[in-house]
């Protein structure tokens, strides 16, 4: 199984895609339609998230197993420490290995129901993401990723301490980090520079959500933990009652953000798809990232 880090070392910029695990048969059909539509575009890797407390564990494992055995895609599975004992985590990691998945995004995870709620570790579990990174490393030849926060983790007191803890995760054995949502390419580039200034050369990749509706814009603001720039709001808010015009302008804004990142040497763009492929396909086509055979 090819690793994420091997894919990132190839020539030229690339992109990757992220999906949610299906909740039912209808969801599964939607997910697989998107997977099949994006497969010819040869993303560097694809990932499927893992619900809080393992709520979607079975769907994630089943879907990742199908990707590993039925497609040409390089799969990466998410794994969180929420509500899991170390024994349960070992079991899930073993399941991933058994279906041929060797790329894992190791996350501490957020408290179920409230990302800002009190973190209560499982009495037989782990407390920090760096511990999960170490556990995954101990159990096999895995390529391991972690999360990063462009504006700092909600529980971090300042960007300096947030960078310190991110670098600790990376030095615990992570091969790369994926930054959560942001609004301005300069914000992400400052995060990348903060990590590099510590002497850590592990790649940090940007997470991007195509802005197709007012809801996706609001979701981006909520998940990033920071307000959107006035220049973005001035372009998009006047179009709130015109879905077609909003979508066109939103795709323009997303494409421009990605163009600036690529111009700064970012090796990979990680797209959050909401289990749909059209917007991502439009953006990567505009960026010239579509392989000739697609």
Active site residues: 18
Strand ranges (E), the chain: 14-19, 46-48, 75-80, 103-107, 143-148, 176-179, 204-208, 268-272
Structure tokens at 184: 């301005």
Distance CA 281, CA 286 (A): 9
Phi, psi of 277 (to 5 degrees): -110, -20
Asked whether the beta carbons of 190 and 197 are under 8 A apart, the reply is no
Structure tokens at 165: 């803890």
Q: Which of 200, 206, 172 is nearest to 188 (CA)?
A: 206
User: C-alpha angle 84/68/134, rounded to 5°?
Assistant: 40
């Amino acid at each position: 199984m090819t690793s994420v880090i091997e894919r990132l070392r190839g020539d030229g910029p690339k992109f990757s895609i992220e999906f949610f695990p299906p909740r039912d048969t209808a969801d599964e059909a939607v997910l697989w339609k998107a997977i099949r539509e994006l497969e010819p575009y040869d993303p560097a890797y694809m990932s499927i998230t893992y619900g809080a407390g393992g709520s979607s564990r079975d769907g994630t494992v089943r879907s990742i197993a199908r990707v590993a055995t039925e497609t040409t895609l390089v799969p990466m599975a998410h794994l969180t420490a929420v509500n899991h004992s170390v024994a349960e985590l070992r079991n899930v990691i073993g399941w991933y290995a058994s279906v041929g998945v060797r790329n894992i995004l190791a996350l501490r995870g957020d408290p179920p129901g409230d990302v800002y709620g009190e973190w209560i570790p499982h009495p037989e579990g782990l407390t920090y993401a760096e511990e999960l990174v170490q556990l995954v490393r101990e159990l096999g030849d895995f390529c391991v990723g972690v999360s990063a926060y462009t504006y700092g983790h909600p529980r971090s007191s300042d960007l300096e301490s947030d960078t310190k803890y991110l670098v600790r995760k990376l030095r615990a054995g992570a091969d790369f980090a994926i930054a959560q949502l942001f609004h301005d390419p300069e914000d992400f580039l400052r995060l990348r520079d903060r990590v590099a200034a510590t002497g850590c050369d592990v790649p940090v990749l940007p997470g991007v959500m195509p802005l197709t509706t007012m809801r996706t814009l609001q979701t981006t603001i909520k998940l990033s933990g920071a307000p959107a720039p006035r220049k973005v709001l001035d372009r998009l808010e006047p179009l709130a009652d015109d879905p077609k015009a909003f979508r066109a302008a939103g795709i323009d804004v997303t494409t421009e953000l990605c163009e600036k990142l690529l111009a700064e040497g970012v090796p990979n763009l990680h797209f959050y798809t909401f289990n749909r492929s059209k917007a991502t396909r439009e953006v990567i086509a505009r960026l010239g990232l579509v392989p000739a055979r697609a």
